[in-house]
């Protein structure tokens, strides 16, 4: 179905920048960048998919069934996203909060052109209908002058506003703590939205700045019609390689410091913080439970527990859980059984999602959903959509949300400060 051709690269980093600039001509774009983050053990340095041949776009009703049929019918590479609202397909839940972004709940496409950068090689995977364009496209990318993205404007003359005030946020966290004290939940991820209306941005320029600021291993630029995702996620949701499945939830965040000694102290304090560790361990238990639904008996294993990973903006506590998939489980069923990811919901999961819906003011939509791809043989890799800017170019509505895990040990003021720390990269990327 696809023709594959490899090209040697003299300067892979330069080629990546030229390739991303070249991609802007298309209506459907998925750009995945691992930012050379060695610990992530990615299958590629960068992966570009453009120009839809077929597509699936739907609301949450029977969304996973439709995705399974689409994935099994195409038997090809497909790229796209699962929004948080697919929880309503998995469980008897609803979403009635305000939605300024109006993204479809699920959107996947089969690209005509896929280009993978790995080491000093660019690998082109084109559908046969366009494989005569490979050499010309490669030459076009090489000849492309890198555009002056950093000079382009960010947000024009518009103020980013919080959907709720600090006072309201603190009150809602107190309400969440009351649920925890009553035993309704042990932990829940509570998020708040920042937004701008009637605004205009150059999405690719803002993404380039966000990616430069964050350098995250699951960075993603997504353009599907008028809908854009500019994502600097450090978190993997779920990866499938053959029968092996891997999840890497993040819970626990601390700031970076310019002074090396202070930065090391902050990192070590995070590694030994009882509150952050308890947050992480609760989600590890939830992920183990989710994976056990689809895994071979006795195969679920915690490979790493609460390891500190360091990124440009923050230190994070990350755990790694793996399992062997039970025979006969379809690839999409693996996602359905574990969605939404525990790091963005809480424990117990269904109770947490109900309380989240009650206390949050906006629909999460693609935020705290997942972006990724399926390969022709049914392998997949999906991130968690956090540290992300979402933009509807037609409605000129921009949004980003941030949140954190609320547990019995949470201090509302400190939780608010953590939100602002996570929001900093998005604010900075949007500043002129």
Q: Where are the domains of the chain?
A: 2-145+157-430
Q: Report pLDDT for 37.
A: 82
- pLDDT tens-place string over residues 186-203: 999 999 999 999 999 999
Tokens of 53: 């041949």
Q: Which distant-in-sequence residues (6+ apart) come within 8 Å of 168 by Cβ?
A: none
Classified as helix, coil or strand, 348 is coil
Record the tokens describing residue 386, joined without a space: 């956090």
What predicted TM-score, i.e. pTM, was given to this entire model? 0.95
Confidence band for 204, pLDDT divided at 50, 70 and 90: very high
Catalytic residues: 235, 251
Euclidean distance between CA atoms 116 and 153, whole angstroms: 29
Q: Which of 30, 38, 40, 42 is nearest to 234 (CA)?
A: 40
β 346-347/397-406 pair status? unpaired
Band (pLDDT 50/70/90 cuts) for residue 55 is very high
**Mean pLDDT value across residues 39-57:** 89
CA dihedral 287, 288, 290, 293 (to 10 degrees): 160
Residue 35's closest CA among 215, 193, 167, 207? 215
Q: Which is the CATH superfamily of the domain at 2-145+157-430? A: Anthranilate synthase (3.60.120.10)
d(CA 243, CA 298): 14
Quick: pLDDT tens for 254-303.
Answer: 999 999 999 999 999 999 999 999 999 999 999 999 999 999 999 999 99
pLDDT digits (tens, 9 = 90+) for 97-148: 999 999 999 999 999 999 999 999 999 999 999 999 999 999 999 998 754 4
Q: How far apart are CA 24 and CA 140, in angstroms?
A: 13
């Amino acid at each position: 179905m696809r023709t594959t051709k490899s090209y040697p690269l003299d300067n892979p980093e330069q080629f990546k920048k030229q390739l991303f600039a070249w991609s802007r001509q298309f209506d459907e774009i998925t750009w995945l960048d691992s930012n050379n983050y060695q610990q992530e053990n990615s299958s590629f340095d960068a992966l570009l998919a453009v120009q839809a041949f077929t597509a699936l776009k739907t609301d949450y009703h029977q969304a996973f069934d439709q995705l399974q049929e689409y994935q099994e019918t195409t038997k090809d590479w497909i790229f796209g996203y699962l929004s948080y609202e697919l929880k309503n397909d998995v469980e008897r839940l609803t979403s009635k909060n305000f939605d300024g972004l109006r993204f479809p709940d699920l959107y996947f496409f089969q690209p005509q052109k896929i280009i993978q950068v790995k080491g000093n090689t660019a690998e082109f995977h084109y559908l046969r209908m366009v494989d005569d364009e490979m050499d010309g496209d490669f030459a076009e990318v090489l000849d492309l002058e890198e555009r002056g993205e950093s000079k382009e404007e960010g947000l024009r003359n518009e103020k980013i506003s919080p959907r709720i005030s600090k006072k309201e946020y603190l009150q809602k966290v107190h309400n969440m703590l009351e649920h925890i004290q009553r035993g309704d939940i042990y932990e829940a991820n509570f998020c708040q939205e920042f937004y701008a209306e009637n605004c205009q941005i150059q999405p690719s320029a803002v993404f380039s700045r966000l990616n430069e600021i964050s350098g995250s291993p699951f960075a993603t630029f997504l353009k599907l019609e008028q809908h854009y995702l500019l994502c600097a996620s450090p978190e993997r949701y779920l990866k499938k390689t053959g029968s092996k499945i891997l999840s890497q939830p993040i819970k626990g965040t601390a700031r970076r410091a310019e002074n090396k000694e202070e930065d090391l102290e902050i990192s070590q304090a995070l590694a030994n913080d009882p509150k952050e560790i308890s947050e992480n361990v609760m989600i590890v238990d939830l992920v183990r439970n989710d994976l056990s639904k689809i895994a071979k008996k006795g195969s679920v294993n915690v490979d790493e527990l609460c390891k500190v990973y360091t990124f440009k903006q923050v230190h994070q506590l990350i755990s790694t859980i793996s399992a062997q998939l039970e025979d006969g489980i379809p690839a999409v069923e693996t996602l359905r059984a574990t969605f939404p990811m525990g790091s963005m919901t809480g424990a117990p999961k269904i109770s947490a999602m109900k309380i989240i819906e009650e206390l949050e003011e906006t629909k999460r939509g693609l935020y705290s959903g997942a972006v990724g791809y399926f390969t022709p043989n049914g392998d997949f890799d999906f991130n968690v959509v956090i540290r992300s800017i979402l933009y509807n170019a037609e409605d000129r509505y921009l949004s980003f949300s941030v949140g954190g895990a609320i547990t019995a040990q949470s201090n509302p003021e400190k939780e608010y400060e953590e939100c602002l720390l996570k929001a900093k990269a998005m604010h900075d990327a949007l500043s002129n």
